[in-house]
């Protein structure tokens, strides 16, 4: 017994723990450097502009129009994203079928592709010849509205990218929900739809709020697909992201910075409000 105790005491695995301060300083420094970079960028924007420039930018009719169009299109694209992402995320989470990996890959394409390529692909899709006509002409003929270089193009460009993020969020959400209650319901005679709406969906509210938040924020910051597919026509297809580009192109740096700060405030407000609502729903 004494020899075993002596061996355990002299084991190389036993050593003095020492201080955790170097480790904590290292990971805090590495992680904090990125946070500091973001704070410095925001501070630089605040230092460059002034309340006068900010109010002057907000009083421009074209910027007021861009604010309204941004709020409308981001909300529509986020709602469309959650409408598509919820069933698709559930399908990918709960069912194994041939070709699922291919669907997973296709969904990730808008995430990894350059944004300009998404806009160019949408533009080609709506103008590709199809038996003497194209998709743009068919939509205009049967729905009475244009898509390309019009307001619907803004929503579609935002949705094409934002929905991919929402789908992945909802899939993770459904992966984290225990399937036992759902299986019991199916065993007791519930249909799959009843189990989904009455058992699974109420547990997925937090993920749906997160997916809606991500989709809205992603739509707010979308630029490349909108520029190519919808254009940047003032008082027509101009949103806040393209406003920054237009103001920079005419040398109005103060107005561009003011709009950038407005986008930052809008993103912070939406993220805060939606997360607060999500916390109350799950409390």
Confidence of residue 52 (pLDDT cuts 50, 70, 90): confident
Please tell me the predicted confidence (pLDDT) of residue 270: 76
- pLDDT for 78 equals 95
Question: ∠ CA 69-75-80 to the nearest 5 degrees?
Answer: 125
- Above 60 in pLDDT, residue 16? no
pLDDT single digits (tens) 129-163: 877 788 899 988 888 888 999 999 999 999 999 99
Q: What is the 3-state secondary structure (H, E, C) of 76-110?
A: HHHHHHHHHHHHHHHHHHHCCCCCHHHHHHHHHHH
When the candidates are 1.10.3720.10, 3.40.630.10, 3.40.930.10, 3.40.50.1370, the CATH number that belongs to 54-281 is: 1.10.3720.10
pLDDT band at 210; cut points 50, 70, 90? confident
pTM for the whole thing? 0.84
221-273 tens-digit pLDDT: 899 999 999 998 899 999 999 999 999 988 888 888 989 998 888 888 877 87
Structure confidence at residue 168 as a pLDDT band (50, 70, 90): very high
Share of the chain above pLDDT 90, in %: 43
Binning pLDDT at 50, 70 and 90, where does residue 279 land? Answer: low
CA end-to-end span of the chain, whole Å?
54
Residue 42, pLDDT score: 87
Report the pLDDT value the prediction gives residue 242, as an integer from 0 to 100: 94
- 6 vs 11, 12, 13, CA distance in Å? 9, 12, 13
**Mean pLDDT estimate for the chain:** 87
Please state the rounded mean pLDDT for residues 27-48. Answer: 89
| pLDDT tier at 99, thresholds 50, 70, 90 | confident
Which of these, 232, 74, 228, 224, lies nearest to 163 by C-alpha position?
74
Cβ-contact 264, 192 below 8 angstroms: no
Exposed, middle or buried by CB within 10 Å (0-12, 13-18, 19+), for 98? Answer: exposed
Cβ atoms < 10 Å from Cβ of 159: 25
For the cut 80, the answer to whether the pLDDT of residue 76 exceeds it is yes
User: Six-digit token pair at 90?
Assistant: 């559930």
Query: Looking at residue 251, what is its pLDDT?
Result: 85
Query: What is the structure's pLDDT at 223?
Result: 93
pLDDT at 3: 52
Model confidence over 103-128: pLDDT tens digits?
989 999 999 999 899 999 999 999 98
**Is it the case that residue 191 has pLDDT exceeding 70?**
yes
74, 219 contact by CB (below 8 A): yes
CB atoms near residue 272 (< 10 Å) = 11
Q: What is the pLDDT of residue 156?
A: 96
Q: Is the pLDDT of residue 81 over 70?
A: yes
pLDDT for 275 = 67
Pull the structure tokens for residue 137. 């002409």
Share of the chain above pLDDT 70, in %: 90
């Amino acid at each position: 017994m004494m020899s075993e105790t002596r061996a355990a005491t002299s084991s190389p695995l036993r050593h003095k723990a020492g201080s955790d301060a170097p480790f904590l300083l290292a990971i805090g420094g590495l992680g904090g450097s990125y946070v500091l970079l973001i704070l410095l960028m925001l501070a630089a924007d605040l230092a460059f502009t002034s309340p006068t420039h900010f109010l002057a930018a907000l009083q421009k009719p074209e910027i007021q129009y861009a604010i309204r169009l941004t709020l409308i299109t981001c909300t529509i694209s986020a709602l469309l994203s959650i409408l598509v992402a919820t069933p698709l995320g559930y399908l990918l989470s709960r069912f194994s079928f041939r070709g699922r990996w291919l669907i997973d890959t296709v969904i990730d394409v808008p995430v990894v592709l350059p944004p300009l390529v998404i806009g160019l692909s949408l533009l080609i899709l709506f103008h590709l010849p199809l038996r003497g006509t194209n998709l743009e002409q068919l939509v205009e003929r049967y729905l009475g509205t244009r898509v390309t270089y019009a307001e619907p193009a803004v929503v579609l460009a935002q949705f094409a990218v934002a929905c991919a993020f929402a789908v992945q969020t909802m899939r993770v959400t459904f992966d984290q929900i225990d399937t036992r209650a759902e299986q019991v319901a199916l065993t007791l005679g519930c249909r799959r739809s009843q189990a989904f709406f009455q058992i699974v969906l109420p547990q997925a509210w937090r993920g749906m709020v997160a997916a809606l938040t991500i989709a809205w924020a992603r739509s707010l910051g979308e630029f490349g697909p909108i520029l190519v597919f919808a254009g940047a026509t003032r008082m027509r297809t101009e949103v806040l992201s393209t406003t920054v580009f237009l103001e920079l192109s005419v040398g109005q740096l103060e107005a561009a910075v003011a709009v950038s700060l407005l986008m930052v405030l809008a993103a912070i407000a939406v993220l805060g409000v939606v997360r607060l609502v999500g916390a109350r729903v799950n409390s």
